[in-house]
Amino acid sequence: MEPRLYHFQSTESKLIEQIVNAEEAQINHIILPAGEKVPEHYSNSNVYLIIIRGTMTITLEGEPRRYSRGHILFVPYRTRMLIENHDGETLEFFVVKAPHPEKYAERTP
């Protein structure tokens, strides 16, 4: 069996790209240059943030924290979050949503 192969971009510019959109999970790739952010929002699934470059400032339910390359953060469903890059180095990370956000949408009346 040949595995399914996915590609992601490499850049220094701001980038938000969806890599995987499968029934089981969704995987996004995000690059944030210094001073950029992902606007505040509520997580629409259980979220795993895998930091591969730079330092992330993440505010969860109003509490800011900083994490760097090599960390994997778990953010539960319906958590208010804001992701920012306050450092000089570019921030790059993957967002793994499992189960797929549509599974939660199906449960909401």
Does residue 99 sit within a domain?
yes
Q: What is the CATH number of the domain that holds 39?
A: 2.60.120.10
Answer for the pair 16, 8: CB distance below 8 angstroms, yes or no: no
Does residue 60 sit within a domain?
yes
Does residue 90 sit within a domain?
yes
Does residue 7 sit within a domain?
no
Does residue 84 sit within a domain?
yes
Q: How far apart are CA 13 and CA 56, in angstroms?
A: 16
For tokens 């450092």, the residue is 87
- Please give the tally of structural domains in the chain: 1
Cis peptide leading into residue 99 (ω within 30°): yes
Q: How far apart are CA 82 and CA 74, in angstroms?
A: 14
Range of the domain at 44: 19-107
| pLDDT tens, residue by residue, 55-81 | 999 999 999 999 999 999 999 999 999
Does residue 9 sit within a domain?
no
Give the per-residue pLDDT at 74: 98
Mean pLDDT of the chain: 94
Mean pLDDT of 1-25: 95
Does residue 77 sit within a domain?
yes
Pairing mode, strands 91-97 and 26-32: antiparallel
pLDDT band for position 91 (50/70/90)? very high
